Amino acid sequence: MYKRFGIAVIAAALAAQVGFSQEIKTVFLTTHNDDGSVLPILIKKGRTLDAGGTEIGSWADGTRTQDRYFGLKRYDDTRLLLGVFGNGINENDPNDNQALAAQFPDRSLIWIDAGNGKPLGVALNIGVQPVAPSQAYLDAYGSIPFFMAFDVSDEGYIYVAFGEYILRYKPDGNGGFTGPETVFTLDVATYGPEDWGTNTLSVRGSGVNTIITGGQNGTGFYLTTDDGDNFKIAFTYTRTGWPPIGGPQSNLIHNTELKEEYVMTGGYGNNSGGNDSKFYRLVRNYENTDEPFGDDSDFFKAEGMPDAGDLDYRAEYIGAIAGLDDFPYVAAYSTPSWNTEIKTSPGFIGLHDMTEAALGGYDGAYVTSIMIPVYTSEEPRLPNGTTSSWYGTQGTLELNVPDGAPEGAFEIIWGGGIYGYGRFVVGDIDTHVSDWSLF
């Protein structure tokens, strides 16, 4: 494993930034407790049953009656993109709200105002089945994918992970997007059927320097391209031991002084107690193009709030992770408890230190956190149920720093799988909104 020597000056400077401002402030927070007043489909509505006790609808055709989301990402200086996996409306039922379903289609991206969180219309209607899965995929998986993920490249291209495919949509110059182009197809016979989690896909760079990472079900993929249009697997990676890499993955994070590249991973299982679901760091030398990631537990340990109580941030139930190159923090979204007896624990966004390993300690120490007031008891899996929804474990985080922002200032963008979405800032960042890049 690599030693963290020779960057004490840089680490000390970053440590000074950690102390610059530790308060996470809310710009907007939209949750299912708003009862659709901001986003009309975002309500407390788990799966529903018919008179015979059978669940109504299916994710496979978009008729499931629970609203569900697959990420929130910044697109330009004024707009975010919210992924709507399911709008909670049964399109096969003429008595359901079909007009609202048309405004917020299943498997679509919705423009969101970055200032107040309000929807601004459909950006891209991906469709429940944007491309047909191969027979090999259907034979192995048994259905079309139950998950979907997306990210935005440096060029403003939208990449969407759907089963064995990664699709790409490009701006059409008129405010919309063209596509999809299939830029990657997974070899199902070799790797098995993939169902990319909401919180796994990450796109970095542009053109021939574009890198895509992600994965689920025990395997992470690192994809590169020779021509900017066709991607291939450079290597795969796993984290040894329990929990496996089947939970969230962060974006790629660089330490340019050490020439190191990190990806944060989490894992969890059904009926998780929480303490087996922290997050971990993998590391590689990014100058060695074919070197896979290795475990970095010698230099990183995710720590929750010291002496945390039941309603404090514990760095458990991790549903999403995000960082930035040469940055003093990494952020983690701690979801309410899942797939177990409903508890009263809320959600959290926590910040962790990324400077101590260079000074001889461990990265990952607790810095600060903010509570997201949503609870599993508010949206159980089934009516009058005693367990929470698995889809509450899903979420995304993104950190951004606009050009010209004050030292230590940045934003945190949160998307929750069923609970809502929000934007938060550390430091005085809103006065610099005009400095965001436009595509």
Q: What is the CATH number of the domain that holds 386?
A: 2.120.10.30
- The tokens for 239 are 């984290």
Strands 211-216 vs 420-426: parallel, antiparallel or unpaired: unpaired
Q: Does a structural domain hold residue 112?
A: yes
Query: Is residue 184 predicted with pLDDT exceeding 70?
Result: yes
Neighbours of 178 (CB within 10 A): 12
User: Taken in order 255, 281, 217, 273, is the CA torsion positive or negative?
Assistant: negative
Phi-psi region of 425 (alpha: psi -120 to 50; beta: other; left: phi over 0): beta
- The tokens for 226 are 């020779």
Report residue 239's pLDDT band, with 50, 70 and 90 as the boundaries: confident
User: What are 87's strand-pairing partners?
Assistant: 67
pLDDT at 269: 59
Q: Does a structural domain hold residue 33?
A: yes
Q: Does a structural domain hold residue 3?
A: no
Q: Does a structural domain hold residue 394?
A: yes
pTM of the model: 0.92
Structure-model confidence comparison of residues 58 and 131, the more confident one: 131
Q: Does a structural domain hold residue 1?
A: no
Domain count, the chain: 1
- The segment with the largest mean pLDDT, out of 223-232, 314-323, 424-433, is 223-232
pLDDT at 19: 45
Sorted by sequence, the CB contacts under 8 Å of residue 15 that are 6+ apart come out as 328, 353, 355, 356, 359
Report residue 396's pLDDT band, with 50, 70 and 90 as the boundaries: very high
Q: Phi and psi dihedrals of 433, rounded to 5?
A: -65, -30
Q: How far is CA 427 from CA 25, 117, 305, 397, 421, in A?
A: 8, 20, 21, 18, 20
Q: Does a structural domain hold residue 66?
A: yes
Report residue 20's pLDDT band, with 50, 70 and 90 as the boundaries: very low
- Distance CA(439)–CA(152), nearest Å, equals 11
Nearest CA-CA partner of 239 in 272, 262, 271 = 262
Report residue 216's pLDDT band, with 50, 70 and 90 as the boundaries: confident
Q: Does a structural domain hold residue 55?
A: yes
Ranking 55-69, 74-88, 161-175, 331-345 by mean pLDDT, the lowest is 331-345
User: Taken in order 54, 55, 59, 61, is the CA torsion positive or negative?
Assistant: positive
- Distance CA(62)–CA(112), nearest Å, equals 22
- Distance CA(135)–CA(140), nearest Å, equals 8
User: Burial letters for 130-157: b for 16+ Cβ neighbours within 10 Å, e otherwise?
Assistant: beebbeebeeebeebbbbbbbbbbeebb
Asked if 434 and 424 count as a contact pair (C-beta separation under 8 A), the reply is no
Q: Does a structural domain hold residue 353?
A: yes
Query: Is residue 303 predicted with pLDDT exceeding 70?
Result: yes
The string of DSSP letters for 225-270 reads: ESSSS-EEEEEEE---SSS-TTS-B---EEETTTTEEEEEEE---T
Full domain range(s) for residue 202: 8-435
Q: What percent of the chain has pLDDT over 70?
A: 88
DSSP state of 133: P
Structure-model confidence comparison of residues 72 and 392, the more confident one: 72
Query: Is residue 10 predicted with pLDDT exceeding 80?
Result: no
Strands 202-204 vs 294-295: parallel, antiparallel or unpaired: unpaired
